[in-house]
Structures are given as structure tokens and as C-alpha cells.
Amino acid sequence: MTPSATPAYRRLSVEERRSQLLAAALALFAHRAPEDVSLDDVAEAAGVSRPLVYRYFPGGKQQLYEAALRSAAEELQLCFGEQPHEGPLLTRLSHALDRYLTFVDEHDTGFSALLQGGSVVETSRTTAIVDGVRRSAAEHIYRHLGVTDPGPRLRMTVRTWITAVEAASLIWLDEGKQPPVEELRAWLVEQFVAVLTVTAGRDPQTAALVGALAGDGRD
């Protein structure tokens, strides 16, 4: 009797199965608004049964969406990290924006649904997850700037710029991903310098940072 060529079935661990379901959900949320994705869709994408999805996410679609959102948020939070924290700041910021815009490009509709809100599955918890990404991005930027105790004007400037990056990303998607991503990234870096320069006229802490950035540009 000839042995079967069918590969042996490997039972996934709990963590592996959960990761598989989250990956399937994220892939769907990347291209469709959350309310347009059903548990049946996730089960089909993962190649499992609907009851299995419920076994791992007994709270149903809401629990699955929040878990997928946290997974995406963790990926986004890593975008602004740059190790080691050395070398010209604007070069590091460019690298961070490259990673961020790659995420936006790959997740497209899901990114829009995430930031624009209004989804039927949006809750205070999902809003907190998104806000956590913004706070994390700001903390990374302060570390890049070498600032441990940012004053209110600097905090407002950085948070305003992060909001501008989000808005520009959404508009970029609406405009069919034009201008080219390299041009968008360069413009956002220039905008960061511009808003810091404006704040520097009213805030000594920011003025010192702008002076340091000018020194980076001469290196």
C-alpha cells in the first residue's frame, strides 16, 4: 500500500490559533470597514469553523475587532521607534514616517475606518486604543528630540503635528495615493520643522530644539 502524500495535520497551540484568527481578521479589516466584516468572513479566511472563532472570542465580533485593533495598534506604535536614538533627528523621523506610511498603504480602508471613527463597532475602548497610538508616537518623538520634560507648547506642537500626519494620510488615500509616498513623507518632515519653528518664536525650549536641528542639518 502506497503511503499517502497528504501532509500530516499539525494541531495549533492556543496562541498560534489565536494569532491565526487575528491575522485573518486584520487582513479583512485592512480592506473593508469593520461593520462589513462578519465572523463567517473571518472563519472562511482562516479556514476554520464559525464555532471555533467563538471559542477564542466568545464576545463575538466586538471582542475580535478590539483584539485585532490592539494588534494593529502595537504595530503602529513601533513605527515611530528608531533604535538606537542617534544620528540626525530628521533622518530618523523620515524612517519612522516610511514605516507609518507603509502601514497606511497596506491597510488602506481599514486604516480609514480606524481613524475616522463612526463604525458601528466603535466604543470607548476602541477610541482609547487609537489614542494610545497617538500618545506612544508623541513619546517616541520626545525621546528622539532628547526631551524628558516637554513643556505645554512643545507637547501641543508635537500632538498637533501627529494629528496633521493622520489627516494627511486619510486625504492621501482619498486622493488615490497621490502625491507619491516619497513626496508625502518629505513634505510631512518639512511640516514638522515648520511647526517647531513657529512655536520656537514663543517657547525657549522649542527654540533650543530648532537650533539643534539646524546643527544636524550642517553635519
The set of long-range contacts for 127-130, using a CB threshold of 8 Å and a minimum separation of 24, is 129/66, 129/69, 129/70, 129/73, 130/69, 130/73
pLDDT digits (tens, 9 = 90+) for 20-61: 898 888 888 777 777 788 899 999 999 999 999 999 999 988
Model confidence band, residue 121 (pLDDT cutoffs 50, 70, 90):
low
Computed over every residue of the chain, the mean pLDDT equals: 83
Question: What's the rounded Cα separation, in Å, for the pair 131 and 162?
Answer: 11
CA distances from 27 to 63, 112, 151, 209 (A): 16, 14, 40, 40
Classify residue 99 as exposed, middle or buried by CB count within 10 Å of its CB (0-12, 13-18, 19+).
Answer: middle
Average pLDDT rounded to a whole number, residues 158-175:
92
Instruction: Check residue 152 and give its pLDDT.
Output: 97
Residue 186 has pLDDT above 80, yes or no: yes
C-alpha cell at 99: 514605516
Question: What's the rounded Cα separation, in Å, for the pair 206 and 101?
Answer: 26
Average pLDDT rounded to a whole number, residues 2-28:
72
The larger pLDDT score, comparing residue 109 to residue 156, is at 156
Residue 5 has pLDDT above 90, yes or no: no
Q: Are 165 and 97 in contact (CB under 8 A)?
A: yes
Classify residue 131 as exposed, middle or buried by CB count within 10 Å of its CB (0-12, 13-18, 19+).
Answer: exposed
Question: What's the rounded Cα separation, in Å, for the pair 38 and 65?
Answer: 10
The larger pLDDT score, comparing residue 219 to residue 169, is at 169
pLDDT digits (tens, 9 = 90+) for 61-82: 888 888 888 887 777 777 777 6
Instruction: Check residue 84 and give its pLDDT.
Output: 60
pTM: 0.76
If residue 119 lies in a helix (H) or strand (E), which one and from where to where?
none
CA distances from 218 to 15, 47, 49, 215 (A): 50, 56, 60, 5
Model confidence band, residue 125 (pLDDT cutoffs 50, 70, 90):
confident
Q: Are 56 and 21 in contact (CB under 8 A)?
A: yes
Model confidence band, residue 110 (pLDDT cutoffs 50, 70, 90):
low
% of the chain with per-residue pLDDT over 90: 40
Instruction: Check residue 120 and give its pLDDT.
Output: 47
Residue 201 has pLDDT above 80, yes or no: yes
Instruction: Check residue 128 and give its pLDDT.
Output: 81
Residue 1 has pLDDT above 70, yes or no: no
